[in-house]
Structure 1
């Protein structure tokens, strides 16, 4: 397509832009486009000049969304898909893959029936997309994640994926890691009420950037993958900024703390709607990495204590994360097997970083107090 072609040829397109990365979306169904507009907000546009400029670039990536009934995908379902191995502790089938070539992969989302076609530039999503918008959004975000992981600075440790929530808080870039159910999203949202900006709910890319002053340690930058939080009822009940999301809050308020924690319910939080003064920010220097090492049934007080992760690398398991079946390296190749994170790569990247542990009893108010005290002491 050229710039002098009719604008209506791009009327069903949108352009997502995140910190130097762009992806064109083609979707004939206006409802799909609205779902994406609602999610990505100011980071998605239908500006025709921007779209045409993107298409004029070499190898400009484009994702086409196809609303397809399951019977229309029968031939694809019949392909010899292989289950993608899940991370330790995860149960049930989630994804299966079929590689057409080293850079051309079909991913079958087993539970929903969606087929996602991974390719360096020509991507497709097929199935009942309206019923499963989060899977479409995650597919889009996985493209940004791959691109960001492939942007390592020259002569620096390779970029790594972190399983962390992150925010700007009192001019500090803070990432929060924790084991499943540890409360990293809850703590991030608790801090965000007085925070500066939202970075991510649970995926960050860590990158060492070369300083102009070579005498200084290269800065560690935290890039946020803008996944919105999905939280449990207890988080909603105890955060005034999230009022209005939980149906029948009085019923949940009558439950004990342990009963609330045991509920297998999740609710989406659109950060921009509930924290209008804390917009999404694509990156921040990482000033403080906090690992949640606390327990609900502990009797000890909540404390923020230093952690030498080089001496205690066991805590890396709270941070490390595999990129998953959609990852493509800088050459556009999709690994045929899950790539287990290498602890040594993380240790090199985190060398010299400030890392703390929250220990004792799970108490988000006490955690905020401890973090405030730390920032005050070090400013």
Structure 2
């Protein structure tokens, strides 16, 4: 805790906040209405393009996100580095706890955020890093529903009229590639690429995706003919000439706009969740791809792949913020997923085989 209060930060940013140049925009997800007030017309245009499928008519918002530009605070914020997740390296986030709020700094970019009851403010070089603003907006959605008892899963998902399939796995394990392959099946809708909210609602299991479009690696692009043209021809040719192992581990993200690739009306963030795949396969395996039912209560290793930390922006209903050493609520996940059939995917990584398994599961043929 520092001597700085939330009100100190709000007051210091007031002169910048009160010069808002753009009209507010409302987004609606799962019944939650978020108003976005953005100072930069250029950045606002990017946000409008990105969130186009959830833009709603102006109405009384449940919360407001203020997106400011550069601003100098008349005091020093004493940030402390936030520990990365296992397997992650380098500095990413730093935090400073206030009286009933938290400042968060993105170390690599210098974008800062105030997270507090009644306040969600981004400031700094925001127009240079629109993806961090997009993530901040989506974080407000995650925070809201997690405070209502939903759990956040590290998963992609698609849905049919009567089926919902989530897909988890280790980072780079192929969940985005799998999800996009399943979008080739008639009747499927995109739910989410990386964050899925889940709750058990008695006679059903509800799932809710956030409006975060897929950010995919080159390996996903060059192995899916529908995605041809997403990157320029010269770069695509370079990628096709890489060794498979080199291509698999290449980190080079591209945004994929679902409506542009699959046509309008293929996004549905609300879903009923019936099945959950956990990708536990390997490129080194000599066994064929296999999909088998498992009991999640007996497989804590698979549950670990599903659970996702709420992160530094999350403040619970008790006012306490999540810390980098807070423990995950395993029973809450088991309860949320108790009526969902969980499947373990093992053997060699074979997207064609998994695609056909998905078509069978969803009751459709490609």
- TM (norm. structure 2) is 0.87
1:67 aligned counterpart, secondary structure: coil
In the alignment, the residues of structure 1 paired with residue 133 and residue 209 of structure 2 have an alpha-carbon distance, to the nearest angstrom, of: 18
What residue in structure 1 maps to residue 132 of structure 2?
A: 135
Q: Is 1:228 aligned to residue 204 of structure 2?
A: no
Output aligned runs, 1:14-33, within 5 Å.
14-33=25-44
What residue in structure 1 maps to residue 286 of structure 2?
A: 299
What residue in structure 1 maps to residue 54 of structure 2?
A: 43
In the alignment, the residues of structure 2 paired with residue 338 and residue 166 of structure 1 have an alpha-carbon distance, to the nearest angstrom, of: 28
8 Å CA contact 1:96–1:107 kept in 2: the answer is yes
What residue in structure 1 maps to residue 67 of structure 2?
A: 65
In the alignment, the residues of structure 1 paired with residue 230 and residue 74 of structure 2 have an alpha-carbon distance, to the nearest angstrom, of: 41
Query: Alpha carbons of 1:110 and 1:354: their partners in 2 closer, same or farther (altered >3 Å)?
Result: same
1:366 aligned counterpart, secondary structure: helix
1:367 aligned counterpart, secondary structure: helix
2:281 aligned counterpart, secondary structure: strand
In the alignment, the residues of structure 2 paired with residue 84 and residue 287 of structure 1 have an alpha-carbon distance, to the nearest angstrom, of: 35
2:25 aligned counterpart, secondary structure: strand
8 Å CA contact 2:26–2:55 kept in 1: the answer is yes
**C-alpha displacement of 1:201:** 0.5
In the alignment, the residues of structure 2 paired with residue 258 and residue 278 of structure 1 have an alpha-carbon distance, to the nearest angstrom, of: 36
**C-alpha displacement of 1:74:** 6.4
Q: Is 1:198 aligned to residue 190 of structure 2?
A: yes
Output aligned runs, 1:269-280, within 5 Å.
269-277=256-264, 279-280=266-267
What residue in structure 2 maps to residue 150 of structure 1?
A: 147
Query: Alpha carbons of 1:336 and 1:375: their partners in 2 closer, same or farther (altered >3 Å)?
Result: closer
Q: Which runs of 5+ in 2 are unaligned?
A: 1-19
Q: Which runs of 5+ in 1 are unaligned?
A: 1-8, 55-59, 153-158, 211-217
Query: Alpha carbons of 1:299 and 1:25: their partners in 2 closer, same or farther (altered >3 Å)?
Result: same
Q: Is 1:286 aligned to residue 236 of structure 2?
A: no
1:294 aligned counterpart, secondary structure: coil
Q: How many residues align?
A: 343
8 Å CA contact 2:281–2:346 kept in 1: the answer is yes
**C-alpha displacement of 1:27:** 1.7
Within the candidate set 103, 106, 110, 1:106 is matched to 103
8 Å CA contact 2:21–2:40 kept in 1: the answer is no
In the alignment, the residues of structure 1 paired with residue 324 and residue 64 of structure 2 have an alpha-carbon distance, to the nearest angstrom, of: 25
2:347 aligned counterpart, secondary structure: strand
Q: Is 1:355 aligned to residue 342 of structure 2?
A: yes
**C-alpha displacement of 1:88:** 1.7
What residue in structure 1 maps to residue 115 of structure 2?
A: 118
After alignment, is 327-336 or 340-349 more displaced? Answer: 327-336
- TM (norm. structure 1) is 0.84
Question: Deviations along 1:194-239, whole A, 9 cap, x unmatched?
Answer: 25211110101110113xxxxxxx3111111222111111110111
